[in-house]
Chains A and B, each alone.
Chain A
């Protein structure tokens, strides 16, 4: 499935924060985890993760430190901070709210698709005339 660019961008922050909530990790592993969680559907351009991580670092949601990889190369590890945890909780609430809202309307579609569609157009025209 092709997820829209804006949606990918918007979901990046909660996704990265949530993955970091599972434990300290580094960029490549975060991408692997994203692929794993989404079954490979949520594809980012790999490099774009890093500006996101740096933004989160600047905002104080994550901390970075240099460690070393199993092959001995320097590797940058990220850790969720307290503020990051709070932000994650806040984002989670927002996303759940959006999700619930959408679910509410979509479940209506599923139950009586035609009628709800008719209602929807009706409401649009009403909205336009008022």
Chain B
């Protein structure tokens, strides 16, 4: 008959509609579809056309929304999103085995990262022996204990080719050689700078693995940014749980007169902290399609609050006519402020629907960026004055460089936001600005790691 959709297309439509209900899982859909088809077969055998049979069968199956409510009542846990290690039952055994395999890989890599941290002890390098040299060793190598394993996970997951693996391995090997061959002064500034910047530099290698070697792709870069934000949140949550676990162990064993402090501080905390990076990354990967991402929600919450604080700060400064007094760590403080603002902007952008027209939140975002720019330029002026009085040091130059890197990003963002709010450019330009800017951070971090120690005499 003309105008009649073929049965398969109708069933496919019905299936898609049913799948949209959260409480109905794919095995349930399959079971109901089997029922539907059995009913259709019976009805067509009784003389109905396929279309008629489909309509009757669907009607008999009942209202799908009610049905899904019924499923929800029976499986109330399904509305609380499903991040399950085991999956539910016999569903898709192939996906099931691959998931299990992934879990094994993750646990293996996490254990390796945890063990790697203890290997230097075999060679007499004890972190907790109040040995300055040992502490310096751990400080400069910290990220090398875990990031190679994290990268290995993504190399495995994305099934990367040998070219990409080579580049990543070269980055790690190069970094390891640099930081261990440089004759750092054990309590010098450059060692501290390496401790802070090496993780950022190596995060690039993790990123290349994360995007499966497609580091030119803007979309993949954006994914990596999202991943970074989510991992941060997951890691914080895991760390909270780990802290609780440690505290409980201490208190409980104390109750029976056993001091487990050495075990907790030497094994549980460091090994847990490193292994948790891999486990956290896996959780982000496993649930990315399952739950709403958290980072954008938090940015929505904190963008207005940070804006308020910055504006209040500026207003107070104007009211009391006080100048920013530059003390030792103030510069770092302002760097952190900029980093937070960049983070807020970044995650707001990553979560925003690029098609949506400019709205009040975009204006608020611009206000935040502008406030941060004003506050920072005040601080910067004060710092430059101080440097010209007292001369350069590794710390000051690094902090100043960071400030300029972040400032550059925010200036660009502010400019583009203004143009976007005026309707001159599409929102994707803002996204593009952030993804294009990404290599700048890494380049700066590598610069600090590779050039600062020799430039400042490893002090």
Q: In the docked arrangement, what's the CA distance between A55 and B75, Å?
A: 9
Chain B proximity mask over A65-104: 1 for CB below 8 Å, otherwise 0:
1100101011110000000000000000000000000000
Closest B residue to A49 by beta carbon equals B35
Interface set, chain A 32-57, CB cutoff 8 A to B? 45-48, 50-51, 54-55
Residues of A within 8 Å of B35, CB to CB, are 27-28, 46-47, 50
* A34 to B: closest C-beta gap in Å: 13
Q: For residue B32, which residues in chain A have a CB less than 8 angstroms away from its CB?
A: 47, 50
Q: Count A-B pairs with CB separation below 8 Å.
A: 62
B239 to chain A, nearest CB (A): 35
Minimum CB–CB distance from A111 to chain B (whole Å) comes to 42
Distance in Å from the Cβ of A9 to the closest Cβ of chain B? 11
A58 within 8 A of B: yes
In the bound complex, CA of A28 to CA of B67 (Å) = 16
Determine the interface band of chain A, counting residues with CB < 8 A from chain B.
20 to 34
| Nearest-CB residue, chain A, relative to B70 | A51
How far does the Cβ of A37 sit from chain B's closest Cβ, in whole Å? Answer: 17
The 8 Å CB contact of A28, one of B39, B75, B90, is B39
List chain A residues, Cβ under 8 A from B60.
Answer: 45-46
Q: Choose among B28, B34, B67, B75 the residue that contacts A74 (Cβ–Cβ < 8 A).
A: B34
Q: Which residues of B contact A45 (CB under 8 A)?
A: 60-63, 66-67
In the complex, how many angstroms separate the beta carbon of B70 from the nearest chain A beta carbon? Answer: 4
Q: Interface residues of B toward A: which range? A: 20 to 34
Asked if B74 and A66 make an inter-chain contact with CB atoms under 8 angstroms apart, the answer reads no
CA distance A65 to B34 in the complex (A): 14
Residues of chain A contacted by B75 (CB below 8 angstroms): 54
A46 to B274, CA, bound (A): 52
Cβ-neighbour of B67 out of A47, A73, A75, A76 (below 8 A): A47
- Given A45-B60, A46-B61, A66-B90, A55 contacting B34 (CB threshold 8 A): no
Q: Please determine whether A48 and B34 come into contact, CB atoms closer than 8 angstroms.
A: no
Report the nearest A residue to B60, measured CB to CB. A46
B48-77 vs A, CB cutoff 8 Å, 1 = contact: the mask equals: 000000000000111110110011011100
Tell me if A76 and B70 are in contact (CB < 8 A). no
Bound Cα distance from A28 to B37, whole angstroms: 10
Whole-angstrom distance from the CB of A71 to the nearest CB of chain B? Answer: 8
Pair B31/A50 contact, Cβ less than 8 Å = yes
A46 touches B62 (CB 8 A): yes
A44 to B116, CA, bound (A): 62
Are A51 and B74 in touch, CB under 8 angstroms? yes
Specify which chain B residues have a CB less than 8 angstroms from the CB of A27 in the assembled complex. 31, 34-35
Most B C-beta atoms less than 10 A away, residue of A28, A48, A54: A28
Q: Do residues B34 and A69 form an inter-chain contact, with CB atoms below 8 A?
A: yes
Residues A1-34 near B (CB distance < 8 A): 26-28
Q: Per a CB cutoff under 8 Å, which of A47, A58, A73 touches B34?
A: A73
Q: Which residues of A contact B38 (CB under 8 A)?
A: 28, 69
A20 to B60, CA, bound (A): 22
Cα separation A48 to B68 with both chains bound (whole Å): 9
Using CB atoms, name the residue of chain B closest to A28: B38
Q: Are A76 and B34 in contact (CB under 8 A)?
A: yes
**Which residues on the A side are within 8 Å of B187 (C-beta)?**
none
Q: Which residues of A contact B (CB under 8 A)?
A: 26-28, 45-48, 50-51, 54-55, 58, 65-66, 69, 71, 73-76
8 closest residue pairs by CB, A with B: A45-B62, A28-B38, A47-B62, A51-B70, A47-B67, A47-B61, A51-B74, A46-B61
Given A27-B35, A75-B31: 6 more A-B contacts, CB < 8 Å? A27-B34, A46-B39, A47-B64, A50-B28, A73-B34, A75-B34
